[in-house]
Chains A and B, each alone.
Chain A
Amino acid sequence: MRELIRHEFLVEAVEPIAHMQGTLGNHGLFMRRKIRQPGGRFVSVPYLTGDAIRHQLREAAAYATLDAAGLLDNPQLSEGALRLLFNGGMVTGKGDAAKVNVERYRELVTLFPPLALFGGCTDNRPMDGQLCVDEGNLVCSETWHLVPAWAQQWLTDQGEAEHVPSFREQLEEVQRVRMDPTLLPEKVRLLSTDEQVRINGRLLASEQAHVSGDSKAAGESKSAMLPRTYERLATGALFVMGVEARTYSELEYDACLYVLGCALNGLRVGGMRRTGHGRLRFRAGARIRFQAAMGNLESLDTTIAGKVGDLYKAHVRERAEEIGVWLRGTIHS
């Protein structure tokens, strides 16, 4: 059963999103890409990379499989297995990349269906995946022409398309400061006497350098306080995500849906997750089947349908021991 299927999702940031492309001095820049506007000019618009979203799916697949196989309590996985599960593995030089061992490939994807979906390097050979994960487009006036028709209609029905904000309205700049505890007298009191003397000496040297304009001495005696700014997308920002999959069996199809469901239930992207950033929630979705006779659009709701994942979980449970041996043994990845 070969299926070429595309899922599209509209997700909303329930926390600010900090997904950086780099820094300029102490300023973090949000990831951007060039988008051609209907008039022909290019604008750099913030977006979520396909790699970041794909990694979330890969992680969801890995945890879902380990959970179904009962391996999460005492995983004890090998380094190669972890690299394969969470990074897609690597070409190691062990094994023979010049030969396609179809039997071995069949064995592996039967044992561990996410390998077929996401691809990966095993036995020194990179294997193509069957999943294409689009860049996450921010819904804004600059990308409105790329928002799928169903999503435009859905947003119109919800009354959210009356004012589609520019990305500039959704991007905010915030400042965080890592304090230097030696600047706070109550913290300095916790130091040993010698250290208190040393810290006070440094503060005095800093003041003197400032007064005398000695930049070298000022640099040597400066505090470790680090104010920094960064760009983030505000809570409520909407993104369109797309995932396209080729599946060749009911098991792979079920695994794909289950992984998508698991990932969407706790989707987080970007950095600073420990300080209230990155959480996304599903708002609406659509499934597009590419078979000529079907070429239609189904809407999706926010829950994983009752039977999704049953086939996949049963498959993994049945082979739990075998999967455990494989993941704890030697994997060339």
Chain B
Amino acid sequence: MAARHDPLVVTARLEAGAVLTRPPMLDSLLEWVVHNRAGRRLPPARGESCTPLDVPLALSDCGRYRLCSAAQYRAELHEVRHKHRRAPWIEYARLGSDKIRRVDTSAGANKSYRVPFVVVHPESDTLVWYAVGDLEDVRDLVSEVHYLGRHRSSGKGRVLGWEVAPSAVWPGFPVEHDGHPLRPLPDADGFGRRGFAVLMPPYWDTTREEPCRLPAHW
């Protein structure tokens, strides 16, 4: 639980875009750092029950989500790139056992692939989150997040720097703006597309989805 509840604006400056299938959530980034600092390396499995970790963000009144928005950005450019895999057939021949007689690169386990993915270049190369939490603690945790989005292990979504500053507030801050949700919110009256989403990290665990009001681009 956050010791102080300051309205915050958190900005990440990217090197050259990121692979964002959905806008990243601030609390999941902070939980990832807390998880790593505790020396835990494996994320929970899908469907496994997990206790929310202690991150310096305030909880909503209903206690079902944290007071932080999804990343806010306007995509300026979409760039298609590809990921390749080729079976290491030379190594199969050099280092493999006699049992390996044939490598089929057109089907099965050794099939070569060329998968496209889209790199999003947000305006000014920045992603912005709004939150209520402890400025110093949030700054300390985000300083360890150096990559965002998918394909981080091969350098996509590299973060050049973070800025955490006090923010101006508005009605519904930080989870709504003009009545429109800035993150998935429990389903209730109001603006926003309806759909299924997860309210607390890990957001990729779709077994915990529930009816929600969804932000744009979700």
Contact = CB atoms under 8 A, between A and B. Distances in A.
A132 B155 contact: yes
Given A54-B153, A99-B45, A105-B41, 7 more contacts: A2-B36, A34-B17, A35-B16, A66-B95, A86-B91, A100-B44, A119-B153
Given A33-B16, A129-B153, A42 B41 contact: no
B100 interface: yes
Contacts of B1: none
Given A77-B96, A79-B96, A105-B42, A50 B155 contact: yes
A34 B79 contact: yes
Interface of A: 2, 4, 6, 21, 33-36, 42, 49-51, 54, 66, 72, 75-79, 82-83, 85-87, 90, 92, 97-100, 102, 105, 116, 119, 125, 127-135, 146, 242, 244, 246, 248, 290, 292, 328
Contact of A86 (B16, B81, B88, B144): B88
B100 A246 contact: no
Nearest to A127: B42
A86 B92 CA distance: 10
A133 B15 contact: no
Interface string B67-98: 00000000001010111110110011011111
A128 B152 CA distance: 11
A2 B39 contact: yes
B213 interface: no
A51 B15 CA distance: 17
B144 A4 contact: yes
Contact of A79 (B37, B84, B100): B100
Contacts of B84: 51
B95 A77 contact: yes
B46 interface: yes
A277 to B, nearest CB: 17
B156 interface: yes
Contact of A76 (B41, B79, B98): B98
Contacts of A125: 45
Contacts of A132: 146-147, 152-155, 158
Given A90-B109, A129-B153, A146-B15, A134 B95 contact: no
A242 B125 contact: no
Contacts of B95: 66, 72, 75-77, 82
A51 B83 contact: yes
B217 interface: no
Nearest to B147: A132
A134 B158 CA distance: 8
Contact of A33 (B79, B110, B140, B152): B79
A160 B216 CA distance: 48
Contact of B41 (A35, A83, A116, A328): A116
B66 interface: no
Contacts of A21: 82
B183 interface: no
A251 to B, nearest CB: 14
B171 interface: no
Contacts of B47: 98
B97 A77 contact: yes
Contact of B92 (A79, A128, A134): A79
A128 B156 contact: no
A130 B41 contact: yes
Contacts of B43: 128
Nearest to A44: B79
Nearest to A86: B88
A35 B84 CA distance: 22
